[in-house]
Structure 1
Amino acid sequence: MRLSLVVVLFLGVAAAARDDEDSYGDELLDKKEAMKERKEERMAKIGTRLSRVRPSDRPPRASEPTRVLKPQEEANCPIGCTCSKNKISCVNKDLDASLFLQIQPIAFPNLDTLVLTGNRFADMSGPGLFGNKNMHESLTFANLSDNRISEIAQDTFINMPHLEYLDLSNNRISVSSDNPFGGLHKLQKLYLANALKKPITGADRLSTLFDARDRQLTHLESIDLSSNKIADLTRDTFCRVPGVAELLLAKNQLSSFDVAKNCLSGLKRLDLSGNSFTTFSSSLFDLLPSLTSLDISENPIECECGMKEFIEFAQKEDSKFLNQDRTKCASPQALFGQSIFRVKLESVCVPKSSNVFSNLFLLALICTVGFFVYRFYRHRIPSPAVFQFGYSSLNERESRREEAVPEPAFL
């Protein structure tokens, strides 16, 4: 009996223990399910918030690097200059010519525009500004004005084979060799205003600037040589640049302009203002058949007989002339200050026969007036005073002298 009771008790305890274990297991499962559900809810909420934030607005993680690399053009830019992919600008930095060696094609492969003004480059006669064999193939625009350049040579600009625009104004250049621009096969505009070392005493010296060979400067369209105190030009100075359509020679010391036959045949605009011309010839348009724009203002023009034909032509073809209000007569005095485009042709030159008649008439008038003046005043001319010393009159003195002389005796 006791044994059976013990077995029953043991089985009851075991059954109770199993019930406790089953209930505990169910509680654990319920907790795990609840935790899983809460975790899924939290992740759903976080995903919703993240979907509202754009990737570009997310702040970088602390572990991620924030380093930004500069473009190679900015990294290699000379000190004091500003650089971009296509342009380098160094203005009023007082830099010397070594600056060009810092502008290498490997660092600036797409360089198109070069603006270097207000520096002190001095002698630039070496072989290539950027160093030998360093070609800037994309460079088309170079402003090198106001840099105190003193000398250039034949190979100075050899590194710029596609240059179209070159400005060397406001320098004091001497040319050490002929044809310094010959290597610029694509050059279209050349500005040399106030650029040449003064005074320009020889026309041949100026010819060396444009002594192009083998059709080197066939694309050159415009040349500006203003304000260089040029006194004379040879007839063939510009014959090696036949494609020039614009030639600016204002504010020099020229008194004549002559061109060889078939030279500058394509010239359309010519500026001769502010020089020393006293006369012009209408044959200038025959020598330059394409000329449609001529400026001869601010010259001391003599509106005499020799200019009558040109003045008549200018008045008929006034559409070809610029600055007409500043194109005035300097002589004769009667026409001083009058525009040649408004002066009367009959006042420019009087025929010689009329001049002779006028002179004879004036001479006759003077003689007539002089004769009447003499007739009017001749009785008013006082007689010379007679001085008497002891005699009453001159006649009495003479008569007494005759009485005192004895008559000759006749034998």
Structure 2
Amino acid sequence: MRQSSAFFFILNCCVLITLTDGFSLSNCTIYFPFEYSGHLKVLCSRMSYRKIPSPLPHNTVNLDISYNAIHQIVEGDFIRLSNLIILNISHNRISEIHSNALSDLANLEELNLSNNKIKTVTTKLLNGLTNLSHLRLDSNYLETIENQSFATLSNLRLVNLTNNKVFNSRDIPSAFFGLKKLDLSMNPLTVFKMMENIFPGLEYLDLSSCFHSNISDWFILDKAFLNTVKTLNLSRNHIEENQLDYIMQSFASVTWMVLDGLKGFKVDTFLQTACSSSLRSIHLEDNNLSVLTDRMFRPCALLNDLHLQNNRVSRMYKSSFKHLVNLTELRIQKNLLTQLNDTLQVLPNLRVLDFHLNSIENLDCSDFANLTQLRQLYLHRNRIVTIKACVFKDLGNLEEFILSSNRMLTVRGTFTYGPQNLQYLDLNNNKLSAIQNDSFKALHSLRTLHLADNQILNIYPYAFAGLINLADMYLGSNKITERTLRNRAVFAGTPNIRSLDVCCNYISYESQEELQSPPFILLSELRVLKINSQRRGLNYIPSNFLKGLKNLQVFYAGNLNIENLHVDTFSYTLNFTFLDLASNNLANRNALTSRLFQPISGLNKITLGRTHLQSLDFLVDANLSNLTILRASTNDLQLINQTIIQSLPQLKVLHLQNNSFTCDCSNAWFIDWAARNNKTQVVYLDKYECRYPLSLSGKSLAAFNTESCNVNYDCICFIYSSSIVILTLVISFIYHFLKWQLVYAYYLFLAFLNDKKRKRTSNHLDFQYDALISYNAQEEPWVLEELVPKLEGQHGLRLCLHHRDFQPGKAIIDNIMDAIYKSRKTICLITHNYLKSIWCSHEIQVASFRLFDEQKDVLVLVFLEDIPTHQLSPYYRMRKLVKKRTYLRRPKPGEDNRAFRQKLKMAIETKENMEDRQILSGKDEDHV
């Protein structure tokens, strides 16, 4: 990859790209700092690798391959990684490292091989690592380290060999000339001998948990060998009293000593020897010092730091520390103290005081008297209910006060007089229910205030007045509601707040309507606002909720049960850089619109995970030209098109894992782009799975073969245009020559459908009528006055007439079907108007289909007008019907019509099978 490039990408492990311009990683991610310097941090942790992933970007400087299943490292595994500075291969199964396997890492400074299965360090194992300064081999199976193994490591400063199987100091090789820190803890040492000064510059030595029984052989040829050691840890060892003085002679210059969990002698006895003129700090954890006597620390008058945690201390004398006048740090945490008893007044130089994890209930006004230099006070996890203002009368220089996890019911009056230089105050996890006005008025220097995990419901106006330098306020996990914040004076007097956390409260709104008094309108300097995870769900964000926050940059609004955002939500916050909307219900496609984001064009990071998103189309016109990180994992996204990606020109990181991707050609562009682009890192691309179609469900999206989607557009255009031309010619031909044939076919098809329907619902054995009279409305007078009276009155026939017998409200075509199939015959009275009527056409077509389908003489044609044969041809093949059917013609005026009526009666009464076969054979009949 070119050094001038500012972006990188992740590819599927099955796709290899030319190494000069790109790289391919499976499961790994790249840590992208906003200020890119050309160097990469590649994270491949917890990805089930069995060997070193390859290829890796050659400008990687920090590589983490921890928590995998790698068994060995072979030569060539780190080829091209000459820029690597930090390498973490811890928590694997490495038992073998080939000679010169690490020789390509000439610039490596930190190597972590802890928690593997390495048994031996050979002389060739670390060849070429001339710049190595930190080496971790802890928690392996090391038994031997070959001499001269570290001979070439002139820059080595720290070696950690904790928790191995090194049995004596002779197993430690020589040539540690530059070593500053050596950790041999938790090795089963039985012998500690130094016949030469192999640690001439050693400053830190950890021998804790090494001697589980008496030291059988401790010998230092020259007591000056370890004079450079300043920090010594001998914790949890078994040392006899008669050995202690001899051992301490080897560490004449120790200034910090850790002696936790001592075995074999009393602390009082040890301090007589340990507290030399050079010792300044001592750590005595877990030594069962239930009482601190007035003589215990007499030998340690020069101490600056004293740590006594976890000793079950329940009592201190007023003179317990009277000899420690130089003490600056005292830590007695995790003990059983219930009160201080004015014990600390003798420590005028104390700067750090830690009494957390005790059982202190009350503080007297004199408990901290004379501690004018105290800077840090830790009283968290005690049982304190109230603190009087007089407790702080001498703590004028106190800067940090942690009082969390107590039983404080109120802070009213507690800080009336200061401490005025206090900068950090932690009151988390108490029982505060209200913050009264002017509760912190005297704390002008306070910059950070923690009030989370209380029961705060009421915050009075001007409760924080006087906190003119407050930058960070934490009010999360209380009982604050929208009513609590209704008065804008709640935050009055805090003009410089930069960060406000009100998450996990009970703030809720019923609509997006504007608020009469926006809650944060006075916080014009606020940069970070967290309102996420309201316990009843915020539900709606009012359109002017953020009014007044003109400098807001970071907004956490996740897990609020909101379904959409008003388009004016961000119109007051034009400086947004980060937006978190994760874990909301944004399934509606209009929940987020491009107009919503247009005011915050400077946005460079957005998180939309677990929001039920179905599309990212809102980004297209959102004008987010500065967006660099987009996280939208665990949603319902099916398609990522080219337009969306092109609308984000600065995108560096894209995380879309666990979506409902469609594996077809609609996503072909995205799949190819994700695998080949050298600008945007698509995080965990190889873990993206297909959801649709079902036949590919669970398959890898990156494995979809996009080559099948490649098409020849020139060929398609030719076929398309040719098809249009041919189709136009065919349509023109059919319209000109076969128009009426198609019309006839259409009506015949309708008749077919109606006939099928009739067959399913009707019984053909019985007829309700002798004949259906099909006629045009223009002939109705003749039908009603002449035809019907003769046929029904004189001859007793049952006729079906549409105006009389059709069922009202029923579909016309259904009435026609019922009438035709309930009548023995259908009589069509043909006129020019009849041929033009659409309903008459339906009737004759259905009757014709019944004729052809049943092979029975069911159709009688009666011409009431003279119609030339050539005029019949356009009307649904009427001409062929006339040529193949017997038909009647009404007599002209003056002619005898008795014969006409008799023939019509006979036609109606003719047996159904008479001459059917002859008629349907196409032979002409004599016209009646």
Q: TM-score, normalised by structure 1?
A: 0.60
CA distance in 2, matches of 1:306, 1:110: 55
- Report the alpha carbon displacement of residue 275 of structure 1 after superposing the two structures with TM: 1.2
Between 1:179-188 and 1:145-154, the stretch displaced more is 145-154
Q: TM-score, normalised by structure 2?
A: 0.28
Alignment-mate amino acid for residue 549 of structure 2: L
Maintained 8 Å contact 2:521/2:549? yes
* RMSD of Structure 2 on Structure 1 (CA): 3.6
Alignment-mate amino acid for residue 295 of structure 1: H
Query: Is 1:139 aligned to residue 497 of structure 2?
Result: yes
Maintained 8 Å contact 1:141/1:163? yes
Query: Is 1:247 aligned to residue 610 of structure 2?
Result: no
CA distance in 1, matches of 2:604, 2:528: 15
- Report the alpha carbon displacement of residue 256 of structure 1 after superposing the two structures with TM: 1.2
Secondary structure (helix, strand or coil) at the match of 2:691 reads: strand
* 2:581 matched residue in structure 1: 225
Q: 1:252 to 1:175 in 2, by over 3 A?
A: closer
Query: Is 1:291 aligned to residue 647 of structure 2?
Result: no
Per-residue displacement from partner, 1:139-184 (whole Å, max 9, x unpaired)?
A: 1111111012113946210121211111111012244742321311
Query: Is 1:337 aligned to residue 686 of structure 2?
Result: no
1:6-85 alignment, distance < 5 Å: 69=393, 74-75=415-416, 80=431, 85=446
Query: Is 1:181 aligned to residue 541 of structure 2?
Result: no
CA distance in 1, matches of 2:496, 2:610: 35
Maintained 8 Å contact 1:161/1:186? yes
Alignment-mate amino acid for residue 285 of structure 1: I
* 2:470 matched residue in structure 1: 111
Maintained 8 Å contact 2:461/2:487? no
CA distance in 1, matches of 2:520, 2:508: 15
CA distance in 1, matches of 2:347, 2:666: 88
Maintained 8 Å contact 2:527/2:553? yes
- Report the alpha carbon displacement of residue 235 of structure 1 after superposing the two structures with TM: 2.5
Per-residue displacement from partner, 1:175-214 (whole Å, max 9, x unpaired)?
A: 474232131112111000102x44x1xx4x443422x1xx
Alignment-mate amino acid for residue 640 of structure 2: F
Maintained 8 Å contact 2:579/2:606? yes
CA distance in 2, matches of 1:275, 1:58: 60
CA distance in 2, matches of 1:100, 1:144: 16
* 1:34 matched residue in structure 2: none
* 1:324 matched residue in structure 2: 685
* 1:310 matched residue in structure 2: 670
Alignment-mate amino acid for residue 624 of structure 2: L
Secondary structure (helix, strand or coil) at the match of 1:284 reads: helix
Maintained 8 Å contact 1:189/1:220? yes
Q: 1:182 to 1:58 in 2, by over 3 A?
A: closer
- Report the alpha carbon displacement of residue 218 of structure 1 after superposing the two structures with TM: 2.8
CA distance in 2, matches of 1:219, 1:289: 19
Structure with higher helix content: 1
Q: 1:144 to 1:262 in 2, by over 3 A?
A: closer
Q: 1:104 to 1:178 in 2, by over 3 A?
A: same
- Match of residue 486, structure 2, among 87, 103, 126: 126
Higher relative contact order (CA 8 A, sep 6+): 1
* 2:506 matched residue in structure 1: 148
- Report the alpha carbon displacement of residue 105 of structure 1 after superposing the two structures with TM: 2.1
Secondary structure (helix, strand or coil) at the match of 2:532 reads: coil
CA distance in 2, matches of 1:138, 1:246: 25
Alignment-mate amino acid for residue 670 of structure 2: F
* 2:533 matched residue in structure 1: 170
Q: Which consecutive unaligned segments of at least 5 residues does structure 1 have?
A: 1-52, 60-64, 354-411
- Report the alpha carbon displacement of residue 101 of structure 1 after superposing the two structures with TM: 3.3
* 1:275 matched residue in structure 2: 635
* 2:559 matched residue in structure 1: 194
Alignment-mate amino acid for residue 573 of structure 2: L
- Report the alpha carbon displacement of residue 242 of structure 1 after superposing the two structures with TM: 1.2
* 2:162 matched residue in structure 1: none
Maintained 8 Å contact 1:135/1:160? no
Maintained 8 Å contact 2:494/2:523? yes
- Report the alpha carbon displacement of residue 349 of structure 1 after superposing the two structures with TM: 8.4
Query: Is 1:99 aligned to residue 459 of structure 2?
Result: yes
Alignment-mate amino acid for residue 639 of structure 2: T
Maintained 8 Å contact 2:628/2:650? yes
Q: 1:346 to 1:176 in 2, by over 3 A?
A: closer
CA distance in 1, matches of 2:639, 2:448: 47
CA distance in 2, matches of 1:86, 1:235: 38
Structure with higher strand content: 2
Secondary structure (helix, strand or coil) at the match of 2:596 reads: coil
Per-residue displacement from partner, 1:65-112 (whole Å, max 9, x unpaired)?
A: 98752779833899846987222222221211x225363222x23222
CA distance in 2, matches of 1:280, 1:314: 10
Alignment-mate amino acid for residue 241 of structure 1: I
CA distance in 1, matches of 2:668, 2:486: 53
Q: 1:325 to 1:223 in 2, by over 3 A?
A: same
Aligned residues: 282
Alignment-mate amino acid for residue 255 of structure 1: Q
Q: Which consecutive unaligned segments of at least 5 residues does structure 2 have?
A: 1-324, 327-344, 349-368, 371-389, 397-412, 419-424, 433-438, 716-928
Q: 1:225 to 1:234 in 2, by over 3 A?
A: same
CA distance in 2, matches of 1:144, 1:58: 40
- Report the alpha carbon displacement of residue 244 of structure 1 after superposing the two structures with TM: 0.7
Maintained 8 Å contact 2:542/2:566? no
CA distance in 2, matches of 1:100, 1:246: 36
Maintained 8 Å contact 2:630/2:653? yes
Maintained 8 Å contact 1:308/1:349? no
CA distance in 2, matches of 1:344, 1:73: 70
Q: 1:293 to 1:146 in 2, by over 3 A?
A: same
CA distance in 2, matches of 1:143, 1:58: 38
Alignment-mate amino acid for residue 335 of structure 1: L
* 2:447 matched residue in structure 1: 86
CA distance in 1, matches of 2:695, 2:540: 47
Q: 1:301 to 1:111 in 2, by over 3 A?
A: same
- Report the alpha carbon displacement of residue 262 of structure 1 after superposing the two structures with TM: 6.1
Maintained 8 Å contact 1:140/1:163? yes
CA distance in 1, matches of 2:566, 2:703: 37
Q: 1:348 to 1:328 in 2, by over 3 A?
A: farther
CA distance in 2, matches of 1:341, 1:228: 28
- Say which one has the larger Rg: 1
- Report the alpha carbon displacement of residue 347 of structure 1 after superposing the two structures with TM: 6.2
* 1:300 matched residue in structure 2: 660
